Amino acid sequence: MLVSQPDLKVSATERLLGWLDSRQDPLSENETPDVNAQLVSALPSMFALALSDEQAAVTRWLSRRYKVSPEPMGALVHEAWTVGDRIQVSPTLLLAVIAIESRFNPFASGPQGGMGLMQIQAEAQHRALLSYGGPLAAFDPLTNLRVGARHLQTLIEQSPSVDAALQLYALATGQSNGKDYVSRVLAEQKQLETMTRPAKSLDGLHNPRL
């Protein structure tokens, strides 16, 4: 249905990307929600986020490049910064992986069963997804970002370099050419870093060091 009705697909994509603030924390052991019902129910409106200058610059660029409305893209960028700071992985690297894996399409599915923005594997990430309600939670952008980021963090910790970690990530998601994948992700990250430079300079003027 989504393939035959592009307008409906765009609307559904933006609504699903807007479903960020409703799943801020993992579910407790006592909660047993009906994930199917959650996925098809009306999604709540996203609250306004105060983006930093860096985040706003990245949001504008990604919104234009991938044709996603600024509001849901801003929420995703904000969350990438929050998660990245927490696990010490560059937020621009997380966003670059999303761009290459799914082009910010939360409904994306890969040849080896990858799901959502970061093409996480529901079987491999079964235990992590249980905390958020089960396998279908992989289609929640916030959950997908958190689980995918943790997986990437683990690979980085176990690898001699970020490049090597990205090659392992590519292997898991069914990318045929690991070296080409790494080049594409790093090129995307470099572009995103370029977007943040004027904002960083502006921040320096606002908050000069003594």
Asked if pLDDT for residue 1 goes beyond 80, the answer is no
Assess if residue 43 is contained within a domain.
Answer: no
DSSP 25: S
pLDDT at 26: 46
Assess if residue 24 is contained within a domain.
Answer: no
Asked if pLDDT for residue 31 goes beyond 60, the answer is no
Helix (H, G, I), strand (E, B) or coil at 200: helix
Name the one residue in this structure whose structure tokens are 């070296």: 179
Assess if residue 156 is contained within a domain.
Answer: yes
Name the one residue in this structure whose structure tokens are 């898991």: 172
Assess if residue 39 is contained within a domain.
Answer: no
Domain count of the fold of the chain: 1
Share of the chain above pLDDT 90, in %: 41
Which residue, 14, 22, 15, is CA-closest to 142? 22
pTM of the model: 0.72
Assess if residue 47 is contained within a domain.
Answer: no
Helix (H, G, I), strand (E, B) or coil at 74: helix
E strands present in the chain: 114-115, 120-121
pLDDT at 179: 87
pLDDT in tens, 66-112: 998 888 899 899 999 999 999 999 999 999 999 999 999 888 888 77
pLDDT at 131: 73
pLDDT at 207: 52
More confident residue, 143 or 95: 95
Assess if residue 35 is contained within a domain.
Answer: no
pLDDT at 150: 92
Tokens, residue 13? 């994509």
Cβ atoms of 150 and 127 closer than 8 Å: no
- Residue 38: pLDDT band with limits 50, 70, 90: very low
How buried is residue 61: exposed, middle or buried, by Cβ count under 10 Å (0-12/13-18/19+)? middle
The domain spanning residue 94 has which CATH number?
A: 1.10.530.10
Asked if pLDDT for residue 181 goes beyond 50, the answer is yes
Q: Which residues pair with 120 in a beta bridge?
A: 115
Which residue, 110, 92, 91, 89, is CA-closest to 101? 110
| Least reliable range by pLDDT among 36-50, 52-66, 76-90 | 36-50
Phi, psi of 109 (to 5 degrees): -135, 140
Assess if residue 29 is contained within a domain.
Answer: no
- Residue 162: pLDDT band with limits 50, 70, 90: very high
- Residue 117: pLDDT band with limits 50, 70, 90: very high
Assess if residue 74 is contained within a domain.
Answer: yes
Which residues constitute the domain of residue 131?
A: 6-19+52-204
Tokens, residue 88? 């010490």
- Residue 42: pLDDT band with limits 50, 70, 90: very low
C-alpha 197/C-alpha 68 separation (Å) is 23
pLDDT at 14: 54
